[in-house]
Amino acid sequence: MIQNQHGCVHIECQGNIIIATLTGAFNDLGANTYAQGVEKVVESFHENKYAILVDNTKLEGGTPEAYQIVEQHNQWLNSTSLVAKAFVVRSEVTTNLIKSLSPSVNQQTTKSFNEKSEAMKWLQTLLK
């Protein structure tokens, strides 16, 4: 059976801040695309400190398999020079769900925001 990717991810960088915008409902293929994309950028930083902004305002959720991949990804991030991660969300429920289904996030310095600009300011302050 051929499985199609569900969930769209856009990854860009502003300095040493990775910005990942997630749209839709994710299956394992979509989650893997997200994880591999972020990991490729992290590796390009050559162990320099960095931060991640995850824009979840258009995220609709994910399958259990997607969250397993996200958990593995967060375990990997915890072994890198990650300084902090900001979540931009419509509701704190989204952040709580992510922290529940990917407990490795709880080892990271994280904060949730309603506005992307506020999240960027917070990350920039921590990276100084």
Per-residue model confidence as pLDDT tens digits over 36-78: 999 999 999 999 999 999 999 999 999 999 999 999 999 999 9
Q: What is the CATH code of the structural domain delimited by 8-127?
A: 3.30.750.24
Report pLDDT for 93: 92
| pTM greater than 0.75 (yes/no) | yes
Element (H, E) at 14: strand 8-14
Angstrom CA distances, 96 to 40, 87, 92, 100, 116, stand at 27, 11, 6, 6, 18
Residues 6+ apart with CB under 8 A from 108: 74, 77, 78, 82, 84, 85
Domain ranges, ordered by start, for the chain: 8-127
